Amino acid sequence: MTHTPVSQSEPGAQQRTTLVTLERTEPYSTATVYSYRVRPTYDMTATKIRLSATIRDIACADYGVIECSVESRAYPRTSSVGVLSITSPPSKPVLVAPLDVLENREVTPAITCSTDDVGYPHWSLALKAVLPSAETPILIPTEKRRFSNGKRCSHGETLTLKGYLPVLAANGTILVCELLSPKPVDLNPYRIHLENPGQSDPVGSRSNSKPSEEPGDRDALTDEQLLMVIRDTICHNKGKKPSLIRHPYLCTRYIVCEEQIATIMACPPEQCFDPNSGNCGVEAVFLEPIHGTLGDGLAGLACSVIHVRDWTRMRIRRHSWGAFYDDVVEVNSEGQVTWHDDSLRKRALTDFRSSASPQLAELYVWIYELECGDEDSYKCEVDREEEESMTGGHLLKVYARASPPVLAVPTTAVEGQGREPVEIKCEATLGRPRGTLTLKRKLQREDEFRPVAFSLTTMQDVGACLIRQKSSFTIPKEEVFAHNSSQWVCEVRPSEGTLDYLSEAASSGHQELYIVPDDICIGQFQELLPHPVYGCKHFLHCGDAETSVRTCRPGTCFNAITHWCDIPAIGKPGQCEMTSGYLPHETACNKYINCAGGELTIERCPDGAVYASDGQCTTDIHEAFCSKQIYGARSRS
């Protein structure tokens, strides 16, 4: 009978030691290093041998493999192996992390994952994250520190994540502090193999060794926490004086805005914050609008009731005229939702949630297909059993993203007298609120772009409460050549007060105005020449009277060898990077992309449904893909 200690760091590296040897003609003997600890006994008959060894003063180092072998002159050697288990259970891991953090602000104090006891054999401690758009956790790099816990076989460990700057895309991430059990011992390296290494064990040999198990088969102890990320611009446009606003996810917290800097504060236990009074724990009803953008993500209305125990009905109502409001949707205290606005019902989903501690009830209307007519005053009205109803109202604003401007710089301008003036055109849909269209120019020797005044402007109503501006700037014919190699750019600057993610200017990109010299055809033997700047579609025609710029027919490019438009143009059809599968639509919540054979098709969900995943639509806002991407769509608790 032999004993081989198992090292967790170097499996199979320890030496095998004989515990007990028993021969038919001699009394048993024990190994020297174990002689004072081993008490052997045996029972032998003509057909059976039973050998036992009792080991005293068991220590951590005794964790290992025991092998019992039998040798005989008449039969091959047989053996069996097993594990001498020395176990000490670990303590549950503890995750210390803030529930809510501000975007792009370092998390302090640092996030830690720790356990007072890793157990024996040692369990593995790890900090992981499950991102909102993924199902498989990823390992987070951390600093590890071990500390003594007064136990001979074990110790404590702490993992620290320092310098973490959260981004808004991490909102909804689940942090997991995991303690994973050790891998089962693979007994094969500890077995005494035959003299011929490639030969299999003889018939009759036995082993209770097991193959190594996958990590998913191992036990794990975990501590988890949802990470809520608040956008860093939440206090923008709040002024320099201190103001209190509602926390975007938790009713038990609020945010203090001072000089556009946000500080997260907490109400007393079991109390919700009222944004109207700025107090915690008071009876209140309020409506919170979640402003939206046409054709882009979610907009919504949130009717909230805090610390009102006897309410019977909650209603979201819309202003009709004068002091009158029409019902949009209502919910009773049992959670039954009833729609009154059929038009909005086809473009929205409802979500009702309530809790007794803290006392909170909320009715959400998530609008996934916003219309400009949805902009209006709404109010939340709550009926009570014996008292007057309570109300709170607000304006829902509808925004629209400006389209990228279309800049048209002429490509046919040629130097010479008698030429026509050159017209630079620029047009774009201006968004909502209406942005400002600007044309900028940089001449050849200038260092920066400067705005120029349009010569002509027209406005066109394109529907959906949007205006498209078409403008042009005319260069007089006597100044045309002075604008040779000038750079142009067209931009739409959003109006002040728009949503943060719409505040960047939309640009057309730079284009160059090139004036073809009137002597470019002198000395040329070809009638048709490639354009020196505008390749592919444009070429020069050298006529007897004048030089002109011409354009190839659609789908072709000019060939400088054959001097004809006979090269196929490379198009950019809508294609998917994947051969087959489904992708969420870039902006619309109720649409998705179907990729089949590399071709792209945009599909639309039925009325009253939004895209979830894998080509499936849903009526549950919690399963909607866009609810995980748009700020404000997370559940509040």
Give the rounded distance of the alpha carbon of 5 from its chain centre: 47
User: How confident is the model at residue 634, as a pLDDT?
Assistant: 38
CA distance 280 to 39: 72
pLDDT at 631 over 50: no
The answer, as to whether pTM is greater than 0.85, is no
| Domain 241-399, CATH homologous superfamily name and number | Immunoglobulins (2.60.40.10)
Q: What is the pLDDT of residues 76-111, one digit of tens each?
A: 888 888 888 778 889 999 999 998 899 999 999 999
Q: What is the pLDDT of residues 354-401, one digit of tens each?
A: 988 888 999 999 999 999 999 999 999 999 887 777 888 899 999 998
User: How confident is the model at residue 199, as a pLDDT?
Assistant: 34
Of the chain, the percentage scoring pLDDT greater than 90 comes to: 41
Best CATH choice for the domain 94-183+214-229 from the list 2.60.40.10, 3.40.109.10, 1.20.1250.20, 3.30.365.10: 2.60.40.10
- Tell me which of 402-411, 414-423, 589-598 is least confident: 414-423
User: How confident is the model at residue 211, as a pLDDT?
Assistant: 40
Q: Which helix (H) or strand (E) holds 342?
A: helix 342-345
State the average pLDDT for the chain.
Answer: 84
User: Spelled out in words, what is the top-level CATH class assigned to the domain 406-513?
Assistant: mainly beta
- The pLDDT of 243-256, averaged and rounded, is 92
User: How confident is the model at residue 605, as a pLDDT?
Assistant: 92
Class of residue 67 by CB neighbours under 10 A (exposed 0-12, middle 13-18, buried 19+): buried
629 backbone dihedrals φ, ψ, rounded to 5°: -105, -30
Q: What is the pLDDT of residues 37-60, one digit of tens each?
A: 888 888 877 778 888 888 888 777
CA distance 246 to 250: 8
Q: Cis peptide before 532, with omega less than 30 degrees from 0? A: no
Q: What is the pLDDT of residues 203-232, one digit of tens each?
A: 333 334 344 444 446 788 999 999 999 988
- The pLDDT of 519-526, averaged and rounded, is 81
Q: Do 241-399 and 406-513 show the same overall fold?
A: yes
Using pLDDT thresholds of 50, 70 and 90, give the confidence band for residue 144. Answer: very high
- The pLDDT of 425-440, averaged and rounded, is 93
User: How confident is the model at residue 316, as a pLDDT?
Assistant: 96
Q: What is the DSSP string of 88-118?
A: BPPPPPEEE--SEEETTS--SSPEEEEES--
User: How confident is the model at residue 632, as a pLDDT?
Assistant: 37
Domains of the chain, residue spans: 2-87, 94-183+214-229, 241-399, 406-513, 528-568
Q: What is the biggest distance separating any 2 CA atoms in the chain, rounded to whole angstroms? A: 126
CA distance 120 to 198: 35
pLDDT at 13 over 80: no
User: How confident is the model at residue 598, as a pLDDT?
Assistant: 67
Q: Is 84 left (phi over 0), alpha (psi -120 to 50) or beta?
A: beta
User: How confident is the model at residue 628, as a pLDDT?
Assistant: 60
- Tell me which of 44-48, 164-168, 338-342, 422-426 is least confident: 44-48
Q: Can you give 363-395 as a three-state secondary structure string? A: EEEEECCCCHHHCEEEEEEEEECCCCCEEEEEE
CA distance 464 to 151: 72
Does residue 366 contact residue 345 with C-beta atoms inside 8 Å? no
